[in-house]
Structures are given as C-alpha cells and as structure tokens.
Structure 1
C-alpha cells in the first residue's frame, strides 16, 4: 500500500513538474485534488497518443520472426533510458533547490526518494515506451492472447526499466560518496553524464555499423539480449524462465542494497551536496570595465556556467534527435549526386535544424536562465529589444555550432560529397535561424523565474511526451517531403529538375520572409 505521505509528495512533485501547465489549470478553476487528477489525466492522454503513434509505426514489423530488430530496438531504448536516468537522477536529487525544504519536514526519506523517482519516471517514460510496444508486438505475434500479451509485456517492461533505474541510482549516489566528488562535484558529474552520452551514441553507431541486413528484413541479433527475446517469443521455455529468475533476482538484490546503503544516508548526502553547490555558486570573479554590449555578452555567457546546463542541453536536445536520426533515417548515400540534387540536400539541412532544435535547446531556455534577474534588467534604463537581441545571437551561434557538429558526423557516416554537405550547411543555417526565432519567443512567453532545476524549464509546454511526439512527427514529415522531392528530381529530366528546384527555392524564400516578418512584428517590434 502507498502511504499518505508518499501520495502527498507525489502530488506536490507533479504540481512542480510543469509549473506553466499547473498555473493554466489553476486559472481554469482546478484546485486541490481536481488539479492533480487533471495533470495525471493529461499525462496519461499524451502517453496514450505517443503509444498509438509508435504502435502505428511498428505495426508492420513481425518481431517474432526478427530477433535482430527486436534486440536492436531494445538496446536502443535501454541506452536512451540509461543516459536520461543518469542526468535525471542528478538533476532531481542534487542539482535541484527544493529538496532541502523537504528534509526538515516529518517525511520518511524513503517516501521522498520514491516520490522523486515516480515523477522522474514521467520524464523518462517517453524515451522508453517504444520498448514496451516491441515487447507486446513480439509476444502477440508469437501466439500469446492479446490480454496476456499486454500484461506480460508490461511486467517485462517494468522489470527492465526498474533494473535500469536502480543501476543508475547506485552510480550517481555511489559517486556522491567519493572524495573525488566532494572536491570536484561538477567535474565528476559532468564526466559521468558525458560518458553515458558517449556510450549511448557510440553504442547506436556500433550497432548500425555491425548490422548485417543481407536478408533485407532482419539484422544481426545482439547476443546478450537474446534471453530477453526468448521471454516474449518463447515465454514457457527454460531460457525464458531462467531470464525471469535472473532479472527479478537482480532487482531484489539491488533494492535490498538500496535500502541498506542509500536511503539511510539520503538526507545527509543531499544536504552536503546542495550546500556545497550553493556556496560554490556564490563565488564571483572580478573583471575589468566593459562597454554595455560587452557587459551584456559577458553576463549571458556567465549564464552558461549553470551547473551541468550545457550537458543537459546536449543530452536532451542533441543526443536524442541524433540517435533517432541515426537509428531510423540513415541510408547509404555514398553515390555521387549531380548538382540538380542540391535543392534536396538544402531542404534536408533545414529539416535537420528542425529536428535538433527543440524545447530543451539553449535558445529555448536562455531568457529563463536569468531567473529573477530578468525583472531587474527590465527595470533598468536598457533597451529590452537590444538586451534580448544579444541573447538571441548567443543562442543562435551555440545552436549553429551544435547543428554543424551533427551535420558533419552525419556527412562522414553516409559519405556525402562536399557539394551536398555545403548545401546542407546553408539550409541548416537558414532553418536554424527560423526555428530559433520560434523557440526564443516561446521562452519569452513561457518564461519562468522561480524554477528549481533545469528539468522544469525543459518540461514547459508539454514535457518530454510532447517533445517526442513533435520529434516523431517532424521525422515523418521530413521523410515524406524529402522523399517526394527526391522522387521528382530522380524521375524528371535535368531541365524540369531545375524548374522544380527554382520553385522550391521561391517557396522557401517567400515563406521564410513571411515567417520572419511575422515574428518581427509580433515579437521584436513589441519590445522597447
């Protein structure tokens, strides 16, 4: 049974998960129990939509006859869950500013821990739900009754995710106890999250490079995940039974270790780490006199020193799109393309910027990083238009660098010619600018000055479910548009191909100009 304290803590954390959504429901008259129910209902509906979307995408795959694809997708979402869990656990427990407020209250440390993990799960579930669908599809196609397949896959999904949470928890809390962490907290956690990100991206790259798809339908299975495949493909086999025993046994052992070594010292660890972070953040460096523009730029660059901010931006806004692009959209494009294909790759560069610039990007949170300083700057005799323009330039430059790195990685992997790479870079520059306009204005509209950890900023406007839905739809639209455009270029003669390119160029120029003018009138011109 869930205790009343734990229920209360979960409700409080749910309210804090997305403050903007909470305030919106409060303005509509929802309070108390009705407010929390509304928030849970919205989360459930978003999750269901995400499941239906991915269910539709995976409906054509018969995983019961494709062990290679089964193990590939399971490995993909385990790696995603691992990297997200590492950063999420550190953000919620050690980088947040709300936990010290809980500790003096008469709450059990176990309930504080479980409530944070429960709400953290809402952020990580979107990255792993497709794994649940893979489990279900495999069990159902293997002949299991649909109701039994649903229950069987949910149990398996919860077991795998629980094991992942526990392992990540031990990694983070274990590091916190070391002397190295106490001396170099940010360095140690940044290194851990960087390593987890490299493992995730590197793992996906290796799986793609080692894939043998000669059969045209499946790929080489990942051997260490084959016992998990047996759980859903041959649920009553000895291999399946042994897998369940090992998995459940490992979870029980990890829970016992957690109760013995982590929970009893939770309060002490959180207090020491948060106090250290607070004291270190108060250190200031003296600098020489600067002009107004130089001072504004120096201040904006200083915001980037927010603990683990850059890593969080990279993990949430770069790694996830990059992995999805690598996993679902890569093809062998090593052939030499004629110049008539330049428009296709220009548009591809624009779509790349749409996929990699989202609510977790730096440009989408740069205004809110000011916290209460925003109101202070607003009260000064400084042009707000000029102030925000300096911010926008910094965020745009940062996003260009990020997108350029991703584009170069993609170009090397798919062996693009330099002419097509240049076309993609130019398209990326234009697309990044237009998308940055949207997300910069969105940050101004949804700006938050009292956030406790960076995850709250990323969750504005729908959270990770909305981000993953948007990303998936963007990938589908990108594939559709680029596919139609490529087919036209491929089948048309050279002259008609250039006519199509000119039409597309005209549409992009006119559409981009109208888009820019709209934001200039409705945003920039409204600032003084």
Structure 2
C-alpha cells in the first residue's frame, strides 16, 4: 500500500467532505488574490480547531460531576457522543463515496482500490471527530476519579480509539448497505435522501429519549446523577473498575471482539467491492428510464408546483430545514413532559396575546435560517433559471408560485407538530392554540420572504453542493445571530409580558401585545412588497 498515494487522495477528498468550508476559503482567496491559500490545509486547520474547541467546552461541563456515583450517566454520555458521531460520519462518508465525482477518475490510474477507500474514510473524519472529542475529557475526568493517573491516561486513549473505530465501522457498514440498495434501484437521490433524514431523526429521537430518562432520575447533591447503566457502553467504565469482572467481559471484551469482526468484514468484503459497487450504481443511473407523466390535463399551476417540489429533494437541505425548529421544541419540552408535570389546561384565554408573541418567536425559528428551502429556493433552479426566463410565462408569477409552494412545505410540518403538541400533550386551550398558530404563520411568512429576497440578491447558479449556498454573504453568522436574538429576546419579552399580565390585566396586556405585533409586522410586509415583489419583472 502506497501511503504517498493515500495522502494525495486525502487532499482531494477532504474538499468533498466539507464543501461549505471550501466555499468560505474560495471567498477569502477572492478577497485576497495575492495571498497563497492552501485549500486542504485550511480545511484541516478548521476541523482541528473545532475538535480542540469541543474538548475544552465539554471538559468544563464534566468537571463538577462525580462519576464514582454516576456510572450510568457516564454510559449515557458515551452512547450519546458515539451515536451523534455515527450519524455525522454517515452523512459525510456518503457524500464522499457517492456524491463526489472523482471516483471514476481513479479507475484508469495506478492506484489500488484499498488506497482510494482508506483515503476517503480518513478524509471524512472531520464530520464525526468533533463529536467524539468530548469523550477524551469525559474519560479522563471519570478515570482519574476511579483509578490512578497512568491508568486514566492509558484507558482514555484506548477507549477513544475504540469509540473512533466503532463509529466509523458502523457508518461504513451503513454506507455500504445503502450502496447495495442503490445498485438495485435507479432512484439513488430519493433513497439517499430518505435514509439520511430517517437516520438523523432516529438519532435525535434516541438522544431526546435518553435525555428524558436522565430527567426521570434523582439528582443526589450537586455532583451525582443517577441513571441506569446502558449495555455495552457501560463497558467503557467497567473495564477501568475491574477488567476481569463479568460486566467487563460482557460489555467490553465481547464488544471488542464484535468490533474486530466488523473491521475484518470491512477489510475483506466492503473495501474489495467498492469499485464494483460504484460502477454498478453508475450503470444503474445510466440505464434509468424516465417515467413519462401525462401532463396534458394539468394546469400551469400544477405543473409549476410539481417542478418546485422536484428541486428540494436533497437530504441535507431537508434536514437543515426541519431539524432546527423541531429540536428546540422538544429540547425545551422533553424534560417537563417526561415527568408528566407540564400542562397548560388551566391557563386563561386572556393570555392570547402572550400566545401570539410565542408564536412569533417560534415562527422565526422556522424561517430565520440561511439553511432552509426559502433561503436557497431560487438558486436551486441552477441551469433552469435562465431557461425559465425565456418561456412565455411571467417570471414574476413563477417566483411567487415557487415561494408559495416552498413556504407551504416549510411551514406546514412544524406548525402541525406544534399544534399536536399543544393540543394533546400540553392540553392548551383552543383559543391560545389558534393565537399561537397565527403568530407562527405570520412571522414565518415574513421572515421567509426576507430570506427568499436574500437568495434573489445573492443568486448562485453554479453551486456543486447545496451546503455551498448556506454560507453565502454572512449566511452562518446571520443564522446564529438571528437564532440567539430570537431565543434571548423572545424569552425576555415573553417573561416580561407574563409578569405584567399577572400583575395587571391579562386581557389588556394581550390586546396591547397584539396591536404592537401587528404594528411591527405590517410595515415590514409593506417594505418587502415595495422593495422586492413590486420590482420583479
């Protein structure tokens, strides 16, 4: 095996593993054309910086926990970090193995199949490694409390390596079996999108479930958290306490044997079949028959709607659009719901103004991000954009139709989930639910128009990966600042409104809040109309 070839392949594939970072580097190069920037080195530096930052952030969080009496909580934390790393690693590996366009270029070159495969795996580590780095301070702190410093350092390094190999092995197996499905089906994009969404939502669901279970357990003092020991993951602490115990044998040594079997399977079966699998997928795509739809009886609106929906079939985009607004809801509610102590059935309908304000807050969480359908919807057209402007249809009507379609898809799922949670879990009065929904819809639509307008101004039709669209302008900073402003500002305004309502009159405060919100949103809508919609041709 030629490690020089592997290193050259790593430098190529590391750019495919993080196209968003590459876009930022290219933008910096454009601002400073005289400065020689190495793209792959810049990406590596960014990934290492994030990984180191995660170590220090989580080390501070773990310092105050007594793991001598919190062994179950330790196993939960290990499970959570490995699970998140598996999902992140899976998505990155899938992009590098099947969404990059370089594999077919290696076929006539004097490079081995194993060299290409190893290079792709190693270049993908930036996607999962940051989520595994917290295991280092977690293990070090726990092992220092349970053993001597030498054993703590040695155990931390060994168990981190095991966690790294385990997360990569499972991610590689997932990618391989999904590749086998793609060999037999021409619907590569649809299958990969569905599986990516399902796997991520499943991981998030498991994390929330484990978090809710931790809230069901008592907290003894300030440093001890009682949780049940999770099978297999408890082995990371059992082996330090007593490496020859039955618990260590079943949860660590047996798990280590299974991991060795997985790595052997990857070496003898998966790596040796990568080129064959890749060529089979390419052949399936080449012989794919396009299903001809009968569009004779369809109206123009129906045809456009079908076209708009076809442009958002991207797993990363779907996850980014829906995951954030749903995560915040369940992150806030999961602990209270798990204890069964949260209900809003006794709240008076006079608080409809506060509900409207909360709706505005959550509506912004749905749309105020550069990573959503509306924020990239126009740029998703790519080559179709110029072609559509030549058709005998109003391009303005086309953009309006696209906005209405994408906003309906983007808003409907979160709002429906909010309604179900409010009605059936929180037992919220119907008037408050209606007021909350109106506030959510109004804020989401107005914020969505601002992001849609931003996409029109920062139009990019030459992107290769959808993540490149997320970082345009100050995309990531815009999303972060907006998110913080909504959470902090919205929480403070909501708390202040509740205090005033309790001390004075809830009905009067609600009317004042309603008038203020409408007085704020109306001129914003007029401004958007005159500066954007009215100027479209």
TMscore range, shorter length: 0.7 to 0.9
Given candidates 383, 386, 390, the residue that maps to 1:375 is 386
Structure 2 match to 1:37: 41
Structure 1 match to 2:348: 338
Shift, 1:334, TM fit = 1.0
1:485 maps to 2:497: no
Given candidates 434, 437, 459, the residue that maps to 2:446 is 434
Structure 2 match to 1:269: 277
Matches within 5 A, 1:139-150: 139=143
Matches within 5 A, 1:419-430: 419-430=431-442
Structure 2 match to 1:255: 263
Q: TM-score, normalised by structure 2?
A: 0.77
1:221 maps to 2:218: no
**Counterparts in 2 of 1:56 and 1:230: CA distance versus 1, 3 Å:** closer
Structure 2 match to 1:92: 96
Shift, 1:394, TM fit = 1.3
Structure 1 match to 2:362: 352
Partners in 1 of 2:161 and 2:109 — Cα distance? 31
Secondary structure, counterpart of 1:177 in structure 2: helix
Shift, 1:139, TM fit = 4.8
Partners in 1 of 2:455 and 2:148 — Cα distance? 48
Matches within 5 A, 1:75-474: 75-125=79-129, 134-135=138-139, 138-139=142-143, 156-177=159-180, 181-182=184-185, 189=192, 192-193=195-196, 196-197=199-200, 199-204=202-207, 206-207=209-210, 210-211=213-214, 213=216, 215-216=218-219, 218=225, 220-224=227-231, 227-228=234-235, 230=237, 234=240, 238=244, 245-246=253-254, 248-280=256-288, 283-288=291-296, 293-304=301-312, 306=313, 309=314, 311-319=315-323, 322-323=326-327, 325-327=329-331, 329-330=333-334, 331=336, 332-335=341-344, 336-357=346-367, 358-378=369-389, 383-411=394-422, 412-445=424-457, 447-454=459-466, 457=469, 470=480, 474=483
Q: Where does the alignment leave 5 or more consecutive residues of structure 2 unmatched?
A: none
* 8 Å contact kept, 2:324–2:365: no
Secondary structure, counterpart of 1:285 in structure 2: coil
Identify which range, 207-216 or 15-24, moves more after superposition: 207-216
Secondary structure, counterpart of 2:231 in structure 1: helix
* 8 Å contact kept, 1:109–1:266: yes
Shift, 1:273, TM fit = 0.9
Shift, 1:188, TM fit = 5.7
**Counterparts in 2 of 1:199 and 1:293: CA distance versus 1, 3 Å:** closer
- Matched positions, count: 519
Shift, 1:24, TM fit = 0.3
Q: Where does the alignment leave 5 or more consecutive residues of structure 1 unmatched?
A: none
Structure 1 match to 2:13: 13
* 8 Å contact kept, 1:76–1:204: yes
**Counterparts in 2 of 1:301 and 1:501: CA distance versus 1, 3 Å:** same
Partners in 1 of 2:418 and 2:393 — Cα distance? 38
Partners in 2 of 1:68 and 1:103 — Cα distance? 49
Partners in 1 of 2:479 and 2:97 — Cα distance? 27
Partners in 2 of 1:59 and 1:477 — Cα distance? 31
Shift, 1:429, TM fit = 0.9
Shift, 1:125, TM fit = 4.7
* 8 Å contact kept, 2:71–2:234: no
Partners in 2 of 1:256 and 1:74 — Cα distance? 24
Shift, 1:80, TM fit = 3.5
Identify which range, 273-282 or 54-63, moves more after superposition: 54-63
**Counterparts in 2 of 1:435 and 1:162: CA distance versus 1, 3 Å:** farther
* 8 Å contact kept, 2:355–2:435: yes
Shift, 1:253, TM fit = 3.2
Partners in 2 of 1:103 and 1:501 — Cα distance? 68
Partners in 2 of 1:432 and 1:102 — Cα distance? 47
Shift, 1:148, TM fit = 9.2
Q: TM-score, normalised by structure 1?
A: 0.78
Partners in 1 of 2:333 and 2:104 — Cα distance? 44
* 8 Å contact kept, 2:375–2:455: yes
Shift, 1:410, TM fit = 3.5
Partners in 1 of 2:272 and 2:351 — Cα distance? 63
Deviations, residues 222-278 of structure 1 (Å, cap 9, x unaligned): 43155255169x567556975664555444432322121111221121122133235
Deviations, residues 308-340 of structure 1 (Å, cap 9, x unaligned): x2x544444434653454245532431422234
* 8 Å contact kept, 1:378–1:384: yes
Deviations, residues 264-321 of structure 1 (Å, cap 9, x unaligned): 22112112213323543755435227665554333223324x4xx2x54444443465
For CA contacts below 8 A with separation 6 or more, give which structure has more relative contact order.
Answer: 1
Shift, 1:159, TM fit = 3.0
Deviations, residues 462-519 of structure 1 (Å, cap 9, x unaligned): 99xx599939x94796267426633652575353555554554455444434554555
Secondary structure, counterpart of 2:357 in structure 1: helix
**Counterparts in 2 of 1:402 and 1:149: CA distance versus 1, 3 Å:** farther
Shift, 1:426, TM fit = 1.9
**Counterparts in 2 of 1:132 and 1:341: CA distance versus 1, 3 Å:** farther
